[in-house]
């Protein structure tokens, strides 16, 4: 995490490990603008960009469905706490 990340503590990021074709770590984190971004392998971008990339790369496969479920979970996870500090 770097650049636009705004991580003050454990509540500002979460990760999921063992998913995708390479079973890598996917990290979701808050930004300075109080949005959520994703870092997964060589990908880094917003949740919507992540969802689009997943669909382009994996289509309707099990991998895609897992990634999209994780994105939904992380969006829900951070939704109640998106506020300025």
Tens place of pLDDT per residue across the chain (85 aa): 555 655 555 678 899 998 888 888 999 998 888 889 999 988 999 999 999 999 999 999 999 999 999 999 999 998 875 455 4
Q: What pTM was estimated for this model as a whole?
A: 0.81
| Residue ranges of domains in the chain | 10-79
pLDDT of residue 38: 94
> What residues contact 32, with CB distance under 8 A and at least 6 apart?
4, 5, 6
Q: Are strands 24-30 and 36-40 parallel, antiparallel or unpaired?
A: antiparallel
pLDDT of residue 85: 46
The three-state (H, E, C) secondary structure of the chain, written as one string: CCCCECCCCHHHEEEEEEECCCCEEEEEEEECCCCEEEEECCEEEEHHHHHHHHHHHHCCCHHHHHHHHHHHHHHHHHHCCCCCC
């Amino acid at each position: 995490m770097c650049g636009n990340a705004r991580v003050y503590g454990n509540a500002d990021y979460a990760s999921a490990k063992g998913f995708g074709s390479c079973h890598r770590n996917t990290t979701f984190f808050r930004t300075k603008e109080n949005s959520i971004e994703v870092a997964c392998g060589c990908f880094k971008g917003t949740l919507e960009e992540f969802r689009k990339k997943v669909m382009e790369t994996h289509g309707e496969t099990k991998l895609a469905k897992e990634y999209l479920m994780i994105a939904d979970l992380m969006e829900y996870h951070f939704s109640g706490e998106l506020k300025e500090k």
